[in-house]
């Protein structure tokens, strides 16, 4: 799943760009954006973000 960036939390520090293997992240207007065409869904950016602005939203299970 492609990570989502909360632009309200993103500080534009660019640390996510440094760990992105396919360079799928760009910073525009001091906010990071992920190009889904290039994202390999590795999650490195999620682990790197110090303000927790990047997350992977997993679907919730309907099984009980």
pLDDT in tens, 7-49: 999 999 999 999 999 999 999 999 999 999 999 999 999 999 9
Query: In the predicted model, is pLDDT for residue 3 greater than 80?
Result: yes
Structurally, what CATH architecture does the domain formed by 4-55 represent? Answer: 2-Layer Sandwich (3.30)
Query: In the predicted model, is pLDDT for residue 56 greater than 90?
Result: yes
Q: Which CA distances in Å does 57 have to 1, 18, 43?
A: 8, 22, 11
Chain-centre distance for alpha carbon 61: 23
pLDDT band at 64, cuts 50/70/90? low
Q: Is 23 left (phi over 0), alpha (psi -120 to 50) or beta?
A: left
Q: How many Cβ atoms are within 10 Å of 27's Cβ, its own excluded? A: 15
The domain locations on the chain are 4-55
pTM, rounded to two decimals: 0.86
Q: Which pLDDT score, from 0 to 100, does residue 60 have? A: 81
């Amino acid at each position: 799943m492609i990570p989502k960036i909360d632009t309200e939390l993103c500080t534009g520090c660019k640390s996510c760009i440094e760990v992105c293997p396919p360079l799928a992240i760009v910073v525009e207007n001091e906010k990071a954006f992920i190009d889904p065409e290039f994202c390999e869904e590795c999650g490195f950016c999620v682990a790197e973000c110090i303000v927790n602005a990047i997350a992977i939203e997993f679907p919730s299970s309907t099984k009980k």
